[in-house]
Amino acid sequence: MIDIHCHILDGIDDGAQDLDASLNMIKHAVNEGITKIIATPHHKNGKYDNIASSIKDKVVELNKTIKEHNLPIEILPGQESRIYGDLLEDYDKGEILTLNHSKYLFIEFPSNHVPRYTKKLLFDIQLAGLSPIIVHPERNSEIIENPSILYKLVEQGAATQVTASSVTGHFGKKIKKFSLQLIESNQAHFIASDAHNLSGRSFRLREAYDEISKEFGRDLVYMFQENAELVVEGNTIYRQPPQEVRRKKFLGIF
Protein backbone atom coordinates (compact mmCIF):
# COMPACT_ATOMS: atom_id res chain seq x y z
CA MET A 1 0.00 0.00 0.00
CA ILE A 2 0.96 3.61 -0.53
CA ASP A 3 0.00 6.38 1.88
CA ILE A 4 -0.03 9.77 0.16
CA HIS A 5 -0.72 11.92 3.24
CA CYS A 6 1.27 11.57 6.45
CA HIS A 7 2.99 13.79 9.02
CA ILE A 8 5.97 11.49 9.45
CA LEU A 9 8.85 13.99 9.42
CA ASP A 10 10.04 14.73 12.94
CA GLY A 11 9.94 18.06 14.72
CA ILE A 12 8.53 20.29 11.99
CA ASP A 13 4.75 20.29 12.58
CA ASP A 14 2.15 18.63 14.81
CA GLY A 15 3.09 15.15 13.59
CA ALA A 16 6.05 13.09 14.81
CA GLN A 17 7.80 15.13 17.48
CA ASP A 18 11.20 13.44 17.28
CA LEU A 19 13.08 10.80 15.33
CA ASP A 20 12.02 8.00 17.68
CA ALA A 21 8.38 8.91 17.08
CA SER A 22 8.98 8.86 13.29
CA LEU A 23 10.59 5.43 13.49
CA ASN A 24 7.78 4.04 15.63
CA MET A 25 5.24 5.31 13.10
CA ILE A 26 7.28 3.82 10.26
CA LYS A 27 7.44 0.40 11.96
CA HIS A 28 3.67 0.51 12.46
CA ALA A 29 3.18 1.43 8.81
CA VAL A 30 5.36 -1.49 7.71
CA ASN A 31 3.28 -3.86 9.84
CA GLU A 32 0.15 -2.51 8.18
CA GLY A 33 1.56 -3.29 4.74
CA ILE A 34 2.52 0.23 3.68
CA THR A 35 5.57 0.34 1.40
CA LYS A 36 5.70 4.03 0.49
CA ILE A 37 4.69 7.15 2.41
CA ILE A 38 4.51 10.67 1.00
CA ALA A 39 5.57 13.00 3.81
CA THR A 40 3.23 16.00 3.80
CA PRO A 41 4.06 18.49 6.56
CA HIS A 42 1.81 21.49 7.08
CA HIS A 43 2.63 24.73 5.30
CA LYS A 44 1.09 28.19 5.71
CA ASN A 45 -1.64 26.99 8.09
CA GLY A 46 -1.06 29.84 10.52
CA LYS A 47 1.27 27.83 12.72
CA TYR A 48 3.77 26.00 10.52
CA ASP A 49 5.80 27.05 7.49
CA ASN A 50 7.69 24.25 5.75
CA ILE A 51 9.09 25.23 2.38
CA ALA A 52 10.03 22.70 -0.29
CA SER A 53 13.80 22.72 0.25
CA SER A 54 13.56 22.01 3.99
CA ILE A 55 11.08 19.17 3.40
CA LYS A 56 13.31 17.52 0.80
CA ASP A 57 16.28 17.68 3.18
CA LYS A 58 14.27 16.04 5.97
CA VAL A 59 13.07 13.29 3.61
CA VAL A 60 16.67 12.47 2.64
CA GLU A 61 17.66 12.31 6.32
CA LEU A 62 14.75 10.06 7.25
CA ASN A 63 15.34 7.67 4.34
CA LYS A 64 18.97 7.37 5.45
CA THR A 65 17.82 6.43 8.95
CA ILE A 66 15.30 3.94 7.53
CA LYS A 67 18.07 2.29 5.54
CA GLU A 68 20.24 2.05 8.66
CA HIS A 69 17.37 0.26 10.44
CA ASN A 70 16.79 -2.02 7.43
CA LEU A 71 13.08 -1.16 7.19
CA PRO A 72 11.26 -2.03 3.91
CA ILE A 73 9.66 1.34 3.28
CA GLU A 74 10.42 4.56 1.41
CA ILE A 75 9.55 8.15 2.28
CA LEU A 76 8.72 10.48 -0.61
CA PRO A 77 8.52 14.29 -0.54
CA GLY A 78 5.25 16.21 -0.39
CA GLN A 79 3.55 19.08 1.39
CA GLU A 80 0.13 19.99 2.77
CA SER A 81 -0.38 23.65 1.94
CA ARG A 82 -3.26 25.61 3.41
CA ILE A 83 -4.98 27.50 0.62
CA TYR A 84 -3.79 31.11 0.27
CA GLY A 85 -3.84 33.72 -2.44
CA ASP A 86 -0.12 33.78 -3.27
CA LEU A 87 0.25 29.99 -3.51
CA LEU A 88 1.07 29.94 -7.22
CA GLU A 89 3.58 32.76 -6.84
CA ASP A 90 5.33 30.79 -4.12
CA TYR A 91 5.23 27.69 -6.33
CA ASP A 92 7.10 29.67 -8.98
CA LYS A 93 9.65 30.62 -6.28
CA GLY A 94 10.21 26.93 -5.53
CA GLU A 95 8.66 27.03 -2.06
CA ILE A 96 5.62 24.83 -2.84
CA LEU A 97 6.15 21.10 -3.25
CA THR A 98 3.94 18.74 -5.23
CA LEU A 99 3.51 15.07 -4.30
CA ASN A 100 6.74 13.27 -5.19
CA HIS A 101 7.56 15.96 -7.77
CA SER A 102 4.43 15.09 -9.77
CA LYS A 103 1.75 17.45 -11.07
CA TYR A 104 -0.43 16.68 -8.03
CA LEU A 105 -0.69 19.37 -5.37
CA PHE A 106 -2.34 19.09 -1.95
CA ILE A 107 -4.68 21.92 -0.99
CA GLU A 108 -6.06 22.21 2.54
CA PHE A 109 -9.08 24.33 3.45
CA PRO A 110 -9.70 25.89 6.86
CA SER A 111 -11.79 23.52 8.97
CA ASN A 112 -14.88 25.75 9.08
CA HIS A 113 -15.22 27.31 5.63
CA VAL A 114 -14.15 27.37 1.99
CA PRO A 115 -12.53 30.70 0.99
CA ARG A 116 -14.41 32.71 -1.62
CA TYR A 117 -11.43 32.77 -4.00
CA THR A 118 -11.11 28.95 -4.02
CA LYS A 119 -12.77 28.33 -7.38
CA LYS A 120 -10.54 30.83 -9.19
CA LEU A 121 -7.35 29.66 -7.49
CA LEU A 122 -8.00 25.99 -8.26
CA PHE A 123 -8.71 26.97 -11.87
CA ASP A 124 -5.44 28.94 -12.03
CA ILE A 125 -3.58 25.99 -10.50
CA GLN A 126 -4.86 23.79 -13.30
CA LEU A 127 -3.95 26.41 -15.92
CA ALA A 128 -0.40 26.21 -14.54
CA GLY A 129 -0.36 22.49 -15.37
CA LEU A 130 -0.95 21.23 -11.83
CA SER A 131 -3.71 19.00 -10.47
CA PRO A 132 -5.14 20.11 -7.12
CA ILE A 133 -6.15 17.50 -4.55
CA ILE A 134 -8.42 18.81 -1.79
CA VAL A 135 -7.46 17.08 1.45
CA HIS A 136 -10.02 15.81 3.99
CA PRO A 137 -13.06 17.74 2.66
CA GLU A 138 -15.25 15.47 4.80
CA ARG A 139 -14.02 17.35 7.87
CA ASN A 140 -14.86 20.83 6.56
CA SER A 141 -18.02 22.11 8.27
CA GLU A 142 -19.17 24.29 5.33
CA ILE A 143 -18.83 21.40 2.89
CA ILE A 144 -20.71 19.08 5.25
CA GLU A 145 -23.58 21.57 5.38
CA ASN A 146 -23.45 22.33 1.66
CA PRO A 147 -21.94 19.40 -0.30
CA SER A 148 -22.64 21.11 -3.63
CA ILE A 149 -19.58 23.29 -2.96
CA LEU A 150 -17.33 20.27 -3.25
CA TYR A 151 -19.33 18.78 -6.11
CA LYS A 152 -18.73 21.90 -8.22
CA LEU A 153 -15.00 21.95 -7.45
CA VAL A 154 -14.66 18.28 -8.41
CA GLU A 155 -16.72 18.90 -11.55
CA GLN A 156 -14.24 21.61 -12.47
CA GLY A 157 -11.27 19.26 -12.18
CA ALA A 158 -10.19 19.04 -8.55
CA ALA A 159 -9.67 15.66 -6.90
CA THR A 160 -10.23 14.87 -3.24
CA GLN A 161 -8.59 12.79 -0.52
CA VAL A 162 -10.68 11.33 2.30
CA THR A 163 -9.01 10.39 5.58
CA ALA A 164 -8.91 6.73 6.62
CA SER A 165 -9.94 7.57 10.19
CA SER A 166 -12.99 9.40 8.84
CA VAL A 167 -14.08 6.23 7.03
CA THR A 168 -13.54 4.07 10.12
CA GLY A 169 -15.57 6.38 12.36
CA HIS A 170 -12.74 7.66 14.54
CA PHE A 171 -13.81 11.27 13.85
CA GLY A 172 -17.42 10.49 14.72
CA LYS A 173 -20.54 9.03 13.12
CA LYS A 174 -21.48 12.20 11.23
CA ILE A 175 -18.12 12.44 9.47
CA LYS A 176 -18.10 8.71 8.74
CA LYS A 177 -21.55 8.93 7.15
CA PHE A 178 -20.52 11.92 5.04
CA SER A 179 -17.27 10.23 4.00
CA LEU A 180 -19.16 7.20 2.75
CA GLN A 181 -21.55 9.48 0.87
CA LEU A 182 -18.61 11.16 -0.86
CA ILE A 183 -17.19 7.77 -1.83
CA GLU A 184 -20.55 6.49 -3.10
CA SER A 185 -21.08 9.59 -5.25
CA ASN A 186 -17.57 9.44 -6.82
CA GLN A 187 -16.52 12.61 -5.01
CA ALA A 188 -13.51 10.86 -3.44
CA HIS A 189 -10.40 9.81 -5.36
CA PHE A 190 -7.92 8.87 -2.64
CA ILE A 191 -7.91 7.37 0.84
CA ALA A 192 -4.92 8.34 2.97
CA SER A 193 -4.03 8.18 6.63
CA ASP A 194 -3.20 11.80 7.51
CA ALA A 195 -1.40 10.08 10.38
CA HIS A 196 0.21 12.31 12.99
CA ASN A 197 1.05 9.77 15.72
CA LEU A 198 0.21 6.29 16.99
CA SER A 199 -2.35 7.32 19.60
CA GLY A 200 -5.30 9.35 18.34
CA ARG A 201 -4.11 9.97 14.76
CA SER A 202 -2.74 6.65 13.48
CA PHE A 203 -2.77 5.13 9.96
CA ARG A 204 -5.87 2.86 9.81
CA LEU A 205 -5.52 2.47 6.03
CA ARG A 206 -6.17 -1.26 6.01
CA GLU A 207 -9.19 -0.83 8.29
CA ALA A 208 -10.59 1.90 6.03
CA TYR A 209 -10.14 -0.22 2.91
CA ASP A 210 -11.91 -3.11 4.64
CA GLU A 211 -14.83 -0.80 5.46
CA ILE A 212 -15.01 0.46 1.87
CA SER A 213 -14.90 -3.10 0.53
CA LYS A 214 -17.74 -4.09 2.84
CA GLU A 215 -19.88 -1.11 1.83
CA PHE A 216 -19.12 -0.82 -1.89
CA GLY A 217 -17.06 -3.79 -3.06
CA ARG A 218 -13.43 -4.28 -4.01
CA ASP A 219 -13.51 -2.20 -7.21
CA LEU A 220 -13.41 1.05 -5.24
CA VAL A 221 -10.59 -0.24 -3.05
CA TYR A 222 -8.60 -1.12 -6.16
CA MET A 223 -9.24 2.33 -7.60
CA PHE A 224 -8.05 4.13 -4.47
CA GLN A 225 -4.94 1.96 -4.23
CA GLU A 226 -4.16 2.34 -7.92
CA ASN A 227 -4.67 6.12 -7.75
CA ALA A 228 -2.05 6.34 -5.01
CA GLU A 229 0.38 4.46 -7.27
CA LEU A 230 -0.48 6.71 -10.21
CA VAL A 231 0.25 9.84 -8.14
CA VAL A 232 3.65 8.51 -7.11
CA GLU A 233 4.39 7.75 -10.78
CA GLY A 234 3.03 11.12 -11.92
CA ASN A 235 0.37 9.55 -14.13
CA THR A 236 -3.32 10.37 -14.69
CA ILE A 237 -5.64 9.07 -11.98
CA TYR A 238 -8.99 7.29 -12.29
CA ARG A 239 -12.11 9.33 -11.61
CA GLN A 240 -14.33 6.26 -11.22
CA PRO A 241 -13.55 2.54 -10.74
CA PRO A 242 -12.88 0.89 -14.11
CA GLN A 243 -13.33 -2.84 -14.61
CA GLU A 244 -9.80 -2.95 -15.99
CA VAL A 245 -8.39 -2.17 -12.55
CA ARG A 246 -10.16 -5.17 -11.09
CA ARG A 247 -9.07 -7.40 -13.98
CA LYS A 248 -5.42 -6.42 -13.60
CA LYS A 249 -5.53 -6.98 -9.85
CA PHE A 250 -7.00 -10.42 -10.39
CA LEU A 251 -4.31 -11.30 -12.93
CA GLY A 252 -1.58 -10.03 -10.62
CA ILE A 253 -0.32 -7.42 -13.07
CA PHE A 254 0.11 -4.94 -10.24
On whether the CB atoms of residues 87 and 126 are closer than 8 A, the answer is no
Burial bucket for residue 21 (CB in 10 Å: 0-12, 13-18, 19+): middle
Where in the sequence is the domain holding 138, given as residue range(s)?
Answer: 2-251
Structure confidence by residue, pLDDT tens digits, 173-190: 999 999 999 999 999 999
- Tell me the pLDDT tens digit for each residue of 1-39: 999 999 999 999 999 999 999 999 999 999 999 999 999
Provide the pairing of β-strand 74-77 with 159-163: unpaired
CA torsion through residues 91, 94, 95, 98, sign: positive
pLDDT value of position 249: 47
Is 244's pLDDT higher than 70?
no
CATH number of the domain that residue 125 is part of: 3.20.20.140
Question: Which pTM was predicted?
Answer: 0.94
pLDDT at 63: 98
Please count the structural domains in the chain: 1
Angle between helices 52-68 and 19-32 (to 10 degrees): 70
Distance of CA 80 to the CA centre of its chain: 8
Compute how many other C-beta atoms are within 10 angstroms of the C-beta atom of residue 148.
Answer: 9
Per residue in 198-220, pLDDT tens?
998 999 999 999 999 999 999 89
Q: What is the per-residue pLDDT for 248?
A: 46
> To the nearest 10°, the Cα dihedral for 72, 63, 226, 1?
40
Give the number of residues written for the chain.
254
